[in-house]
Amino acid sequence: MLKHETLIGYRGNEAAQGTGLLVFDLFALRERKGHVIATLFRARALQRSMIAIHPLIDLPEIEPGDDLPALLHVSLAAAGLLPFQPQDVLVVTQKIISKAEGRFVDLDDVTPGDAARDLSETTRKDPRLVQLVLDEAASVVRAVPHVLITRHRLGHVMANSGIDRSNIGPDGGERALLLPVDPDGSAVVLRAALGAADDNPPAIVISDSFGRPWRHGVTAVAIGAAGLPALVDRRGDIDRDGRRLEVTQIALGDQIATAAALATGEGAEGVPAVLIRGLTYPAGDAPATAQVRPLEEDLFR
């Protein structure tokens, strides 16, 4: 005989309004035992496979030299997310990594050169900012009014070499914030620091926002990763119909960064880190730079 029990789980369009959850009253459905028991097992299995995104909302404004691993640990504990579970992924926005690493530059300390001044006239941007962009770039891809796209020295093709002046603190003034020198290295260091207090440290993804050449809007990508394969090579695997995959590589790092961006946002949300729990990913460790396509494979130059 079924006991009176309530189960909460996902079930498509029948989800409870506003929550995405459906409540099953098994007592009320006791006349349909077989169906209810099957539904119970399906829903419990679904709960076990559910991927949860936990925003860390109480981190303070990060300053150069702050102990970021310690601050994240405190926030994770306050959210009830410790100890870590297997295959947890901590997604941290590039901005707080750069802030903690002191990647601020005062524009008043920048002297633009001739190339920066020329590009400033084309793009109508502050020549001091343009100089910083050139300093961080391997090459200029496009320069038109209000747009300066470069290939960053790390290989990323992005606007303004990833240099940002938004959300860099209330006293940002004439400062700019550069990308970390080595985002993959920053991810390794952060994971090791969190692992010092936990035998099961999370994988780390450092995210940033990129535009896309043929689409409007920005989306998150991984510029740093540790503890997981940022690029998963599925070539040689067999699909459901028995066909061998020829070219499939999965940008796992970017997928995780994009999922986290649903919580971190792009404006005044104030959520610089997210713990993703319940994800299953392959073993291995490949850096975010593995996702950068080599120049010799660039078909659009």
Asked whether the predicted pLDDT for residue 288 surpasses 70, the reply is yes
Given 3.30.470.20, 3.40.50.300, 3.40.50.1820, 3.30.1330.100, which CATH number is that of 51-103+180-293?
3.30.1330.100
Identify the pLDDT of residue 236: 80
Give mean pLDDT, residues 162-177: 78
**Backbone φ, ψ for residue 61 (5° rounding):** -60, 125
Whether 46 has a pLDDT exceeding 90, the answer reads no
Q: How confident is the model at residue 111 (pLDDT cuts 50, 70, 90)?
A: very high
> What rounded mean pLDDT belongs to the chain?
86
- The reported pLDDT for the residue numbered 291 is 95
Residue 255 confidence (pLDDT): 98
Tell me which of 177 and 299 has the higher pLDDT: 177
Mean pLDDT for 163-184 is: 83
pLDDT score, position 270: 84
Q: Among 101, 103, 90, 18, which residue's Cα sits nearest to residue 271?
A: 90
Bridge-based pairing of strands 175-177 and 104-106 is antiparallel
pTM of the predicted structure, to 2 decimals:
0.82
Domain formed by 104-162, architecture: Alpha-Beta Complex (3.90)
pLDDT band at residue 182 under the 50/70/90 scheme: very high
Whole-angstrom Cα distance, residue 148 to residue 70?
Answer: 37
Q: Mean pLDDT across the stretch 60-83?
A: 97
Q: Which of 1, 63, 58, 60 is nearest to 29 (CA)?
A: 1
- The per-residue pLDDT for range 193-247, each reduced to its tens digit, is 999 988 899 999 999 999 988 899 999 999 999 999 999 988 888 888 888 888 8
52-71 confidence digits (pLDDT tens): 999 999 999 999 999 999 99
- Contact partners, residue 60, CB within 8 Å, separation at least 6: 71
Predicted pLDDT of residue 6: 38
Residues 6 or more apart from 51 whose CB is under 8 A from it? Answer: 259, 276, 277, 278, 279
pLDDT of residue 119: 98
Q: pLDDT-derived band of residue 261, with 50, 70 and 90 as boundaries?
A: very high
Of 32 and 246, more confident? 246
**Percentage of residues of the chain with pLDDT beyond 90:** 68
Positive or negative CA dihedral for 105, 108, 114, 119?
positive
pLDDT band at 20 (very low <50, low <70, confident <90, very high): very low
pLDDT at 196: 92
Burial class of residue 195 (count of CB atoms within 10 Å of its CB; 0-12, 13-18, 19+): middle
Residue boundaries of the structural domains of the chain: 1-48, 51-103+180-293, 104-162
* Band of residue 99 on the pLDDT scale cut at 50, 70, 90: very high
What whole-number distance in Å separates Cα of residue 174 and Cα of residue 189? 30
